[in-house]
Chain A
């Protein structure tokens, strides 16, 4: 008998929660394929290590962008392999709850459920990421008070006000931590004339990236390919440069938080001043982001204790109480 599963199918990472067991898988959402035969060569962390370092016949891809499936067939194969790794087989088909961005279209929604069913799920239901994040971050969403959660993922950033188990106000933008990496890549190419890969850009972000000045900042030495000569070259990057490079992305995220605050009913707005807003998702780990949002909104921002796992833990809670909470699935309320 298959144990039911909750899946956080993120643009960057896929996490799987198994009913009664907790998180059983946490891997990058990457798949490596043989370009000629179409065979899968690796998934998850193994495939992630291949990004930008493959010979011509291998391609390592992320089949999701902005929280939506860009390649249906590859996504289905990736989900199938990940489910096999947690024990799902042709004879054990579990019920699955999948977390998706709230702003995805009907077509994108159907693509996710179809991919999961074809990959081995007996039944697939969707839940909005901010709702799952709020449950996973242990916010008291069962009470008639304003709970605000900001979920910054790889491809999307969503802010939601939740009260009495439902979303009261929501604002989503298809901008996330991958856009921060891309902005760093573009800046280094434009200003220093060197090309760097997406993994290097991510390492720069994690080493010296920040949304607001922070104490004890240091510089980073970056190696890439000189666009003029084609030779390897080293440049020094400062935190100020990176802040400048990612400013557009950061402002877009902060603006969406402000728009969500403006949509909230006044009765709930006053709760935020006392309770604060909760930041979850890998993008929320960007240094100075909480302080920048706090400075611009004048509302306290708190980091969740489990920023990377909050979404899948919330979906896991739903799978543990499937019958009582099935009314929360996308489509069930409409």
Chain B
């Protein structure tokens, strides 16, 4: 009996999700596109640049520092160029 209830609830949940997705307002796709375009704009880029510059002035991440310390890098020769 319990299994019948579980299956019924699962089916109901699935139907609710499908219906909700179908009836999603067109406004949500507009908002999503707007968010994407805004995130590519100059204001968003400025945030990233500031964040990275601030981070550059901070103490290095302990995880990264430990990993770097484990391996002393030779710097007498540059690596190849090319991406």
On A, residues with C-beta under 8 Å from B are 3, 8, 10-13, 18, 20-22, 24, 26-28, 44-46, 48-49, 84-87, 92, 135, 138, 140-142, 151-154, 164-165, 176-178, 199, 202, 206, 280-283, 285, 308, 311, 316-317, 320-321, 323-325, 327-328
Contacts and interface: CB of A to CB of B under 8 A. Distances in A.
Contacts of A153: 82-83
Interface string B34-50: 01111111101101100
B61 A176 contact: no
18 contacts: A8-B83, A21-B55, A22-B55, A24-B61, A49-B74, A85-B64, A85-B67, A85-B68, A86-B67, A87-B66, A142-B41, A153-B82, A153-B83, A154-B82, A202-B80, A321-B48, A324-B35, A325-B39
A321 B74 CA distance: 35
A10 B55 contact: no
Contact of B79 (A13, A86, A177): A13
B39 A45 contact: no
A321 B73 contact: no
B83 A154 contact: yes
B83 A325 contact: no
Given A12-B82, A153-B82, A176-B82, A142 B64 contact: no
A154 to B, nearest CB: 4
A87 B67 contact: yes
A308 B82 CA distance: 7
A20 to B, nearest CB: 6
B64 A285 contact: no
A324 B79 contact: no
Contact of B64 (A18, A44, A176, A311): A18
* Residue with the highest number of chain A CB atoms closer than 10 Å, among B32, B39, B41, B42: B39
A28 B45 contact: no
A280 B83 CA distance: 9
A165 B44 CA distance: 14
A121 to B, nearest CB: 15
A10 B79 CA distance: 13
A85 B81 contact: no
B46 to A, nearest CB: 11
A22 B56 contact: yes
Given A85-B68, A282-B83, 10 more contacts: A10-B83, A20-B52, A24-B61, A142-B38, A176-B82, A202-B81, A282-B82, A317-B45, A320-B48, A323-B35
A202 B37 CA distance: 40
A18 B42 CA distance: 21
A13 B82 contact: yes
A311 B67 contact: no
A35 B32 CA distance: 51
B51 interface: yes
Nearest to A283: B82
B71 interface: yes
Contacts of A22: 52, 55-56
Contacts of B56: 22
A287 to B, nearest CB: 12
Q: Which 6 A-B pairs have the closest CB atoms?
A: A87-B63, A282-B82, A324-B39, A12-B82, A22-B52, A321-B39
A199 B44 CA distance: 40
A325 B61 contact: no
